[in-house]
Every structure is written in C-alpha cells, then in structure tokens.
Chains A and B, each alone.
Chain A
C-alpha cells in the first residue's frame, strides 16, 4: 500500500471512526470532508483565526494545524459533541442569549475555545477573558457580547 495513505481510527465525540486518509489530511479536513462534521470551520487554515478550534484530550487545539494521522489515539470533541441529552451546552445557550455573533462563521470555534477557557479557569474578569480568547478572531467584532456570554456560561458551569 502507498505509505502516504494511512488507515486510522479516530475517536470523535465518543464514537470510533475507521477511515483511510492521505497523510497530508488535516484533522479539520477529515472532520468536514470525510465525516460530514461541518461545524468546525476553515477560516485561515494557518492557525491564525481559531475558527477550527476543537478539543483534543480536553484541551483546545487548532484542527487545521493537526494532522488526522497524528490525532489517532486521542479523544476529539467538536461543536457537534457539545450538546448532551439535556440540550444545548450552557455556552451555546449563552451565545444565543447574548447575541454573541453576527455572521456566525467563527462561532463554533469561539464556543469550543470559550468552554476550554472556563475549564482552564481564565474567566476572572473581562481582561482575562479577552486575553485568553485572543486566538479566536471575529471579523464582525461581536467581542463585547462574546465576553458577556462567557461570563454567563461560566457562572452556570460553576466557575464564574
């Protein structure tokens, strides 16, 4: 077999997926093109905008700078995996409540990053939230509403 094609197993949102990928394929492209999980967005594709943010083993990572082959053996959670049986994640609800978006393209990455930001404990005040969310750009500049949404969700998540 061509050594540049790999048969891998990826754990995405708690489910195992077997797939054959070109070694060049990023985790982002595997999610979107192979698995139909189009919530994670391709913005810059160079690790600058944060639209592709997912959780890898509980940490926020950029799926555009992660090779799918290198993600084997890790637990990946995307925006599609955030909701549970009780409904939307408190962060998703907070983004709706505070109208924390305009066009919405950066929103899945913002939400994944925001959930991690709360888990990391970087939500003590507006300045800290802004600093630790600076890897997620919003060209519509919904930043004030995003900060407000994160504060609301942090309180619900027990870390406000």
Chain B
C-alpha cells in the first residue's frame, strides 16, 4: 500500500473541507471493506483518507419514518439495517438484499452509504498486472472483452467496459425509487438513486454523478406499500458469493392484477438495473407465468452476451420470473 495521510474529523462539514483542501486525490473511509482491499491491490492510491465514522449527528446513524418516507442514515451498517424491524416488516426486499450480501463480518463493517458505491469485481480491473482496463486507466483498452468474462455484464455494456456492478442492496433501492441525500461544499442536495450510477459508455472510469468531495449522508425510500417484495439471488455457492443473477421485486396486487410492479436486476448489468421494459409490460396485467416470461424476454432483448456469459441471459430471465411468481404467492 502506498503512504497516505489519515484524518478523522468530528463534523461532516470538516470532512468535506478536508477533502476539498486535498483535492481529488482523497477518499472517504467508513467500513473500508472495498477501499482498503483496492488500496492493497494498488488499484487506487489516495494520498489522504478522511475517516467519517466519528462525525457527529444521529441522522447519519438512524432509520426513521419521515413525511417523505423511510429515511436511512448513511453510516448505518449493513448488518444493523438488515435486522431493522421496519425493513423486515414493511420492506422485506431492502432487508433480504442486505443479508444475502457478503459475510457477517463484512456486513458489520460496511456502511450503507459506501455499499452503493462498491467497485466492480472484474479481475482485470483488480489485477494491475493487466495494463488494459479503461476503468482503471482510461484509453488503455479492455482485457475482459476477449478475456475470461463469465461473471461480466450482459446489460448496459459498452465496447469500452463490460464490468458488472456487484452490489445487491442497490437493486432494491432502484426498484423502490429511492432518493440519495448528499452533502457537498455548497450544502446538501438530493438526487434520484437511478441517477447516481453512470453507464460505462466511453468513460467507464467515471462511475457516478457525485461531484468531487460530495458525501452520501442518507437515503429516502418514498412511502409505498411494499410488504409484497423480495430479493432472489442466484450464486455459484449457497452463501457468501456475488450474484450470477438476482432480482429485487416489489408488487402491488389487486386480486391477480398488478396495479404496480417494481423490478431491479443484479449480477447481469454494469450498473444497478431498473427493469422498466418488464415493468411496463406487466403493469395492469394479471401476474401469470406467461406474462412474467414475456416481460423477462423483453427486458433481456437488448442483452449483449459474449462467449462465457451467455448463460446469464437465460439465468437472468429465469431468476426474474421466479422472483415475480414467489412474490405473487407471498402471504402478506
């Protein structure tokens, strides 16, 4: 690991000033589970870490119902949030997508603010002995295109990058139209979670729409009746693995008919993936296996699989159909 300075401010404003002073070559440190991993690999090498775990303010650490919806502080740990009573009862998809991720130790350490910014697991990104990686070194090429890409994305790819977004919770957030609260040098602002991540396009090195130094301070889940929601995650092993395919679904059923349906897909895309085409096909229709299958087909119609990840198209569709039917049959 390369040398860095470490600062531990007690106020959020101080943290933002610290990052502003040091310039772009800095990073916020909370759980550190992605950051320190990538620093050890020399994939990233900030000159300064700003530890935000001691910044004062209950709002960063609590989950509460507000007029705008459910607000979740960014410094709540994944484990604490997964066990939250409100989530377990009223938003099962938010809880399940957390506890099906990582390991118990990592979920204790990682905070949800950093969780959504987790970096890809693409081996060519993580291994600096490969010179080609447009995400790590813009313009250098992409070793994954003709390399081993079984775990890579089939949706939202570009000819510059096919790296998969590895997180789970983000699929639930995008499905439920969450908002992200951020604090920057010019004060607080909020953006739609769907506008947080950027498709790789020609600039896979720019992964999100946060401005330099902006800090995620919380999330708001707009009020909604989402007790009929769940997260299905298909992995190579039963626990502690990244998704080959996953689906976050939330249903509003009127009898057999879908008044509303929300779908986030994981394991198959370059960013948290809102399945708007599938939702559109299902809204107002009875939730039958045939309709679910047609919707899954439509969502994956533009999939761009390569040699090793062709299975993800079939698996992604099957995962979505299964999640929809299981949510339909939930006793709520």
- List residues of A whose CB falls within 8 A of some B CB: 3-4, 6, 22-24, 26, 45-47, 50, 53, 59-62, 65-67, 69-70, 73, 113, 116-117, 120, 122, 130-136
Tell me if B239 and A53 are in contact (CB < 8 A).
Answer: no
Residues of B with C-beta under 8 A to A69: 6, 8, 51
Tell me if A65 and B1 are in contact (CB < 8 A).
Answer: no
Given contacts A24-B3, A130-B239, contact A135 B104 (CB under 8 A): yes
Tell me if B104 and A116 are in contact (CB < 8 A).
Answer: yes
Q: Count A/B pairs, Cβ under 8 Å.
A: 88
Measured CB to CB, the nearest residue on chain B to A121 is B83
* Chain A CB within 8 A of B103 CB: yes
Measured CB to CB, the nearest residue on chain A to B35 is A65
Given contacts A6-B6, A46-B37, A46-B40, contact A70 B32 (CB under 8 A): yes
Tell me if B4 and A24 are in contact (CB < 8 A).
Answer: yes
Tell me if A70 and B108 are in contact (CB < 8 A).
Answer: no
Measured in the bound complex, the distance between the Cα atoms of B50 and A23 in whole Å is 12
* Chain A CB within 8 A of B5 CB: yes
Given contacts A65-B32, A134-B239, A134-B240, contact A59 B4 (CB under 8 A): no
Given contacts A65-B32, A70-B53, contact A45 B40 (CB under 8 A): yes
* Chain A CB within 8 A of B185 CB: no
Tell me if B104 and A60 are in contact (CB < 8 A).
Answer: yes
Measured in the bound complex, the distance between the Cα atoms of B51 and A4 in whole Å is 14
Tell me if A4 and B40 are in contact (CB < 8 A).
Answer: no
Pick from B4, B29, B79: contact of A4, CB below 8 A: B4
Measured CB to CB, the nearest residue on chain B to A70 is B51
Given contacts A47-B37, A62-B109, contact A4 B3 (CB under 8 A): yes
* Chain A CB within 8 A of B33 CB: yes
Chain A CB count within 10 A is highest, among B51, B106, B238, for: B106
Pick from A22, A45, A61: contact of B105, CB below 8 A: A61
- List residues of B whose CB falls within 8 A of some A CB: 1-6, 8, 29, 32-33, 36-37, 40-41, 49, 51, 53-54, 79, 102-106, 108-109, 238-240
Residues of B with C-beta under 8 A to A62: 33, 105-106, 109
What distance in Å separates the Cβ of B16 from its nearest Cβ neighbour in chain A? 19
**A53-B105, A60-B105, A65-B32 given. 8 additional CB < 8 A pairs?**
A23-B5, A24-B3, A47-B33, A65-B33, A65-B37, A65-B109, A66-B36, A131-B238
Tell me if A47 and B106 are in contact (CB < 8 A).
Answer: yes
Tell me if B104 and A113 are in contact (CB < 8 A).
Answer: yes
Tell me if A135 and B103 are in contact (CB < 8 A).
Answer: yes
Pick from A45, A47, A67, A122: contact of B6, CB below 8 A: A67
Tell me if B1 and A24 are in contact (CB < 8 A).
Answer: yes
Measured CB to CB, the nearest residue on chain A to B6 is A23
Measured in the bound complex, the distance between the Cα atoms of B36 and A45 in whole Å is 10
What distance in Å separates the Cβ of A42 from its nearest Cβ neighbour in chain B? 12
8 contacts between A and B (CB under 8 A): A26-B36, A47-B106, A50-B103, A65-B33, A70-B8, A70-B53, A132-B104, A134-B104
Measured in the bound complex, the distance between the Cα atoms of B1 and A24 in whole Å is 7
Measured in the bound complex, the distance between the Cα atoms of B103 and A116 in whole Å is 13
Tell me if A3 and B109 are in contact (CB < 8 A).
Answer: no
Residues of A with C-beta under 8 A to B8: 69-70
What distance in Å separates the Cβ of A150 from its nearest Cβ neighbour in chain B? 13
Pick from A47, A70, A131: contact of B239, CB below 8 A: A131
Measured in the bound complex, the distance between the Cα atoms of B3 and A50 in whole Å is 26
Residues of B with C-beta under 8 A to A46: 37, 40-41
Tell me if A113 and B105 are in contact (CB < 8 A).
Answer: yes
Residues of B with C-beta under 8 A to A26: 36
Residues of A with C-beta under 8 A to B49: 23, 67
Measured in the bound complex, the distance between the Cα atoms of B29 and A67 in whole Å is 10
Residues of A with C-beta under 8 A to B3: 4, 22-24
Tell me if B32 and A67 are in contact (CB < 8 A).
Answer: yes
Pick from B36, B41, B51, B106: contact of A135, CB below 8 A: B106
Chain A CB count within 10 A is highest, among B2, B37, B79, B108, for: B108
**Top-7 shortest CB links A-B:** A135-B103, A134-B239, A134-B240, A23-B6, A59-B108, A24-B1, A3-B5
Measured in the bound complex, the distance between the Cα atoms of B49 and A68 in whole Å is 13
Measured in the bound complex, the distance between the Cα atoms of B240 and A2 in whole Å is 40
